[in-house]
Amino acid sequence: MSEKKKTDIRARLGLRPVINVSGTMTALGASIAVPEAIEAAMAILPQWVEINDLHRKASAVIAKATGGEAGFVTASASAAITLAIAGAMTGADLAKVEQLPDATGMKDEVVILMGHMTGYGAAIEQAVRLAGAKVIPIGNVTDAREYQLAGKINERTAAALYVVSHHVVHYGQLPLAEFARVCHEKGVPVIADLASECDLKGFIAEGADIAIYSAHKFLGGLTAGIVAGRKDLVRATFLQNSGIGRGMKVGKEAIASTMAALQAWERRDHDAVRRKERGYLDLWVERFSGMPGVRADIIPDPTGNPIDRLKLSVDPERAGTTAWDLADALAAGDPPVIIRDHELELGFFEMDPCNLHPGEEAIVADRVAAELEAARARNDKETRSPADRRRGRFDRLLQWPD
């Protein structure tokens, strides 16, 4: 074994040394934690702390970073959605906190635009139901209107959930400001799932009463979620620690690392990061654009995050492979390269430059070029359909752990 391999924990655990060009994915370990987050976790792990005091300190850091009145660290953004909705149902009533998920006698409806009913490995509507609430969809997938939202809000409505994400429909939806205005006119708080968004202040400024972020995505923290916003709602979310939140407990290490990651984010030289990522994208465009049957375009993030990605479109006739077979070949090879595969069946995939260790951009370029050359040499016309590929994934899941 080489020195590098010996120090790579993945080799010791018998895991494949995957290179992640797909983005901040739970299935690949979320993100590369920043040194500040790792140091904070290591420093606090051997110490006793009064955990609610630590939560109080985290609240101040979150409030400063987001412009919200208070903040609370949860186990994940998904847990934050469940607990924020539970908080909107119970308020600061501990008897109600203990009664959930039985919502008898509480407001128990949550409105959400149909085009926002997405998933992130699990369905967002289940995160709502987990609190004991019912999901009330608004409009249809590609068309939602103010009167439809207003018409579904009644005396049972506990909260309104709004999602900003590349995973939602991007046209025909109500903008957050309009959505919030309709909800506020009827006294309903707006909880915004912003798990992957980099803008820490804008959504609260636009009308979100609660903003939810993942600490382990762009911030590079340990696995955790961040709840920020109106103090009464954040407090009610925190109080779920004595109820359904107990099963979604966050440890001292994740609270301390979330504080450190937020502070590091404020200090980070974002322009330098952007320039480095642009260098990776330019390298890939130069390498792939002359190759037969593929097209390489640099595209902006669909929700306006300050990140560009490479879109690699594959013409099966000329490339001798499909986008999904190429993705599988990259994942199966040495080292495995995992691309962003949400839209494979449309004939392209994306490559995200934000989670690479220095030097991996060149390895990725070599691997993609080599797989394309091999595919063209094989020119194998027998390929699986994208539907077969998806089925195969679920079959494997059901065989875990073997």
Task: Report the interface residues with ligand PLP, using CB under 6 A.
Answer: 26, 76-78, 120, 163, 165, 167, 193, 195-196, 214, 225
Considering beta carbons, is residue 132 or 225 the nearer one to ligand PLP?
A: 225
Considering beta carbons, is residue 196 or 322 the nearer one to ligand PLP?
A: 196
Considering beta carbons, is residue 118 or 313 the nearer one to ligand PLP?
A: 118
| Torsion angle of C-alpha atoms 378, 383, 386, 387, degrees rounded to 10 | -160
Considering beta carbons, is residue 77 or 264 the nearer one to ligand PLP?
A: 77
DSSP-derived letter for residue 251 is: -
DSSP-derived letter for residue 175 is: P
Kind of pairing between the strands at 308-314 and 348-351: antiparallel
Where does 215-322 have alpha helices with state H? 231-238, 252-267, 270-288, 316-319
**Is 329 in contact with 321 (CB distance < 8 Å)?**
yes
Q: How far is the CB of 285 from ligand PLP (least distance, A)?
A: 27
**Is 259 in contact with 215 (CB distance < 8 Å)?**
no
Spatial distance between the Cα atoms of 152 and 356, rounded to a whole number of angstroms: 45
160 contacts: CB under 8 Å, gap ≥ 6: 110, 111, 112, 149, 153, 179, 183, 188, 189, 190, 191
Considering beta carbons, is residue 87 or 225 the nearer one to ligand PLP?
A: 225
The edge-to-edge listing of strands for the beta sheet with 308-314 is: 294-300, 308-314, 348-351
Where does 91-221 have alpha helices with state H? 94-99, 124-129, 146-152, 176-185, 202-206
Considering beta carbons, is residue 66 or 214 the nearer one to ligand PLP?
A: 214
The CB-side HSE value for 96 (13 A sphere, CA atoms) comes to: 20
Q: How far is the CB of 354 from ligand PLP (least distance, A)?
A: 14
Q: How far is the CB of 218 from ligand PLP (least distance, A)?
A: 11
Considering beta carbons, is residue 38 or 81 the nearer one to ligand PLP?
A: 81
Q: How far is the CB of 119 from ligand PLP (least distance, A)?
A: 9
Q: How far is the CB of 214 from ligand PLP (least distance, A)?
A: 3
Q: Which amino acid is at 362?
A: A
Q: How far is the CB of 100 from ligand PLP (least distance, A)?
A: 19
Spatial distance between the Cα atoms of 50 and 282, rounded to a whole number of angstroms: 49
Spatial distance between the Cα atoms of 64 and 44, rounded to a whole number of angstroms: 22
Spatial distance between the Cα atoms of 295 and 235, rounded to a whole number of angstroms: 51
366-376: b (≥16 Cβ within 10 Å) or e: ebbbebbeebe
How many residues are listed for the chain in this entry?
A: 402
Q: How far is the CB of 163 from ligand PLP (least distance, A)?
A: 6
Considering beta carbons, is residue 305 or 313 the nearer one to ligand PLP?
A: 305
Ramachandran category for residue 251: left, alpha or beta (phi over 0 → left; psi -120 to 50 → alpha): beta
Three-class secondary structure of residue 88 per DSSP: helix
Considering beta carbons, is residue 224 or 339 the nearer one to ligand PLP?
A: 224
Q: How far is the CB of 245 from ligand PLP (least distance, A)?
A: 14
Strand partners, 348: 313
Q: How far is the CB of 106 from ligand PLP (least distance, A)?
A: 24
Q: How far is the CB of 256 from ligand PLP (least distance, A)?
A: 17
Considering beta carbons, is residue 227 or 356 the nearer one to ligand PLP?
A: 227
Q: How far is the CB of 77 from ligand PLP (least distance, A)?
A: 3
Considering beta carbons, is residue 4 or 246 the nearer one to ligand PLP?
A: 246
Spatial distance between the Cα atoms of 165 and 118, rounded to a whole number of angstroms: 9
